[in-house]
Structure 1
Amino acid sequence: MSQFDRTADAGAEADTERADPPTPRTESRMLPAEVFSVLGNDTRVDILRALLELGADDDPVSFTDLFERVDIDDSANFSYHLRKLTGHFVKQGDDGYEFRSPGRKVVSAIFTGTLTERAQLGFFPASGNCYDCGGDLHGWYVDDTLTIGCTDCGAVQVSYPFPSGGLDDRSTEDLLAAFHHYVRHHYCLAADGVCPECTGSVETTLVRDPDDSALDVAVEHVCERCNYRLQSTLGVTLLDAAPVLVFFAERDVDLSTEPFWHFDWCVSDTRTDVVSEDPLRVELALPCAGDELRVRVDETGAVADTAVVEGLTQ
């Protein structure tokens, strides 16, 4: 659901009594220390990797096939380690073994390099121009973060954590395309109330004059479950809003594929105006092909109103 859709439903929700949230059913819970203890063994990690290689995402894997794939000679020892994984990380059925969600996430983290690799990538050209001075852009990757900045004035357009596995087998052009989709997806998920880390509920608010930021107004997303936090410009959270998508699509611009740092309203608040302090209301002016979409949002970052002004120059 887009941010615009949530706004459209707001009136309907106000007229109906909000139902109590369902009580989640918890089969079991493993303490963090137990998780590290279980996974702190090479054989168990090899078992999870073998499940992936043998196609456990599609069909259960038999004990025999799994044992033959893992480099271990003692079947009793193998069974011991497999039992340690079964229940929380691996599910055992009549046809064999398959992943539970936590086990699949462990394998994903290993293959993306999140847990195992430290990579660096020196300066390389990036498409677009600096929002501040119009200069050329370049990117670099260090400390698990991809950054795009200006070669002339040094202004950072975007800096965001990105798993090092995303660098494998990609040209810098393909890397930037993947980075665009990854970051856009995270912010759009958060704007829709879903934590990109744990899928918990996210509360979104506008923040006036945020600390450690040059922005006058920022959007802050905080997960109520894992406390994951994201802070950004208001513009980048509107990339999935229906009126914004339609406005640009009608002018032959696809916001799903055009790198978001190409738009100054996504990486700065240069086109953001505070129209009311209490309650906080902010308006963005989004130019395209000589026209302008004016988007007004409330204190939660939800779209409150839009208007198209035609015949303006950028």
Structure 2
Amino acid sequence: MVERGESRGVGNGDGSSGDSGPDDDRGGRTATGRADPTAVFELLADETRLAIVRELAAERQSNWQWAGATFAELRRAVGVEDAGNFSYHLEKLCGPLVVKDGDEYHLRNRGVQLVGAVESGRYTGPGDPFREEVAYDCPHSRCDRSLVGVYDDQYFRIRCPDHDVFNGTALPPVAADHHTTAELVEITMLDLRQQVQRAKAGVCPNCWGPIEGRLPATDTSLSSQIDADIPEDALLAAFDCQQCGISFDLPPGACVVEHTAVMAFYQHHDEPIRGRPYVDLPFCHLGRGVLESDDPVRVRVDVELDGDVLRLWLDGETNVVEYERE
């Protein structure tokens, strides 16, 4: 993926119906009814309140159950002897992150997600950087270098040592600490593909707000984070979020990787596709998309294996509208 704008990470999904308890105290709210984010982060700046949230998260983390703890149980678990002091901190959390349901205190879904982000190491430091070769070669015909995986400042990139960054995404330290570089390549690609699929469905992979896809991109300018030599006439798809403002570009082929026709085509040829980086899929390279029509927009992507060709046509919103196999 060719990125424009800041790096990002994708948050956990929320499939729970857990926030079903009483909600009489809605402190820290903005005029729109949403919690003020500065107030929420200020709450967690105190180690006692963070410890309370972590203990309540442990109650909820088994299948996102609506489970909590009484005042006495919670104070004992956190290890605060002064009941008055503990009550002060607990009441501060009630409303934005904690709900009292009967005799028990329960952590809201957003609190569980915040604890997950804390445990991932996102807020504790940049992580230990490393650089290691991966099992893929540079796709440029005049380059015989092996690609390398580079982890730095919570960002994992697959790049050629000489000239290009090909794929990259935000990755918390806990992932880098527990997986090999080869595993991180596959994890990164699974995450990138999910991001692309969500963006194609109109959901921003960064903030879950509305995002629009556009093909071809009208502006292919890149940030300094990407040092690839992108031709001015490169055919790229662009995605822009109306909520958080994040934007990114990618070759048209990246928009069809998860299409059922492409998956079946690779399976028919006994070729693996799961976890393979875009750089190892020739139809995802720059220059492999052809603009056949401006009105309506039709961009053709050819997927080739063993002399067999699958052709797909995308519209101006990056959707596959037609495909055929030769």
Deviation at 1:242, TM superposition (A): 2.2
* Number of the residue aligned with 1:178: 187
Q: Deviations over 1:92-120 (max 9, x none)?
A: 22362333222122111111122222123
Tell me, which stretches of 5 or more residues in structure 2 are unaligned? 1-30, 223-228
* Number of the residue aligned with 1:169: 178
Higher percent of residues as helix: 1
**Amino acid across the alignment from 2:262:** V
Deviation at 1:145, TM superposition (A): 1.3
Q: Deviations over 1:178-228 (max 9, x none)?
A: 212122211111112222223222211120451127161222222233333
1:203 counterpart = 2:219: no
* Number of the residue aligned with 1:58: 65
Pick from 130, 146, 157: which aligns with 2:156?
Answer: 146
In 1, distance between residues paired with 2:114 and 2:97?
9
In 2, distance between residues paired with 1:104 and 1:230?
29
In 2, distance between residues paired with 1:134 and 1:189?
35
* Number of the residue aligned with 1:235: 253
Could you tell me whether the CA contact under 8 Å between 2:167 and 2:277 is conserved in 1? Answer: no
1:214 counterpart = 2:230: yes
1:224 counterpart = 2:242: yes
* Number of the residue aligned with 2:262: 244
Deviation at 1:289, TM superposition (A): 3.1
User: Which aligned segments of 4 or more residues in structure 1 are displaced greater than 4 angstroms?
Assistant: none
* Number of the residue aligned with 2:278: 260
* Number of the residue aligned with 1:276: 293
Q: How many correspondences in the alignment?
A: 282
Tell me, which stretches of 5 or more residues in structure 1 are unaligned? 1-25, 310-314
In 2, distance between residues paired with 1:91 and 1:289?
60
Q: Deviations over 1:48-94 (max 9, x none)?
A: 11223344533512123222221322222222222222222223223
State TM-score, norm by structure 1.
0.81
In 2, distance between residues paired with 1:219 and 1:92?
48
SS in 2 for 1:210: coil
In 1, distance between residues paired with 2:114 and 2:168?
25
Which 10-residue stretch deviates more, 247-256 or 180-189? 247-256
* Number of the residue aligned with 1:86: 94
Residues 1:27 and 1:86: Cα distance change in structure 2 (over 3 Å):
farther
In 2, distance between residues paired with 1:125 and 1:131?
15
Residues 1:169 and 1:209: Cα distance change in structure 2 (over 3 Å):
same
Pick from 257, 267, 289: which aligns with 2:306?
Answer: 289
In 2, distance between residues paired with 1:106 and 1:261?
33
Which 10-residue stretch deviates more, 156-165 or 208-217? 208-217
Could you tell me whether the CA contact under 8 Å between 1:130 and 1:157 is conserved in 2? Answer: no
**Amino acid across the alignment from 1:106:** L
Deviation at 1:27, TM superposition (A): 9.3
In 1, distance between residues paired with 2:317 and 2:121?
35
In 2, distance between residues paired with 1:307 and 1:80?
66
In 1, distance between residues paired with 2:205 and 2:104?
31
* Number of the residue aligned with 1:7: none
Could you tell me whether the CA contact under 8 Å between 1:293 and 1:307 is conserved in 2? Answer: yes
SS in 1 for 2:221: coil
Superposition CA RMSD, Å: 2.4
Which 10-residue stretch deviates more, 284-293 or 138-147? 284-293
Residues 1:98 and 1:302: Cα distance change in structure 2 (over 3 Å):
same
* Number of the residue aligned with 1:13: none
**Amino acid across the alignment from 2:319:** A
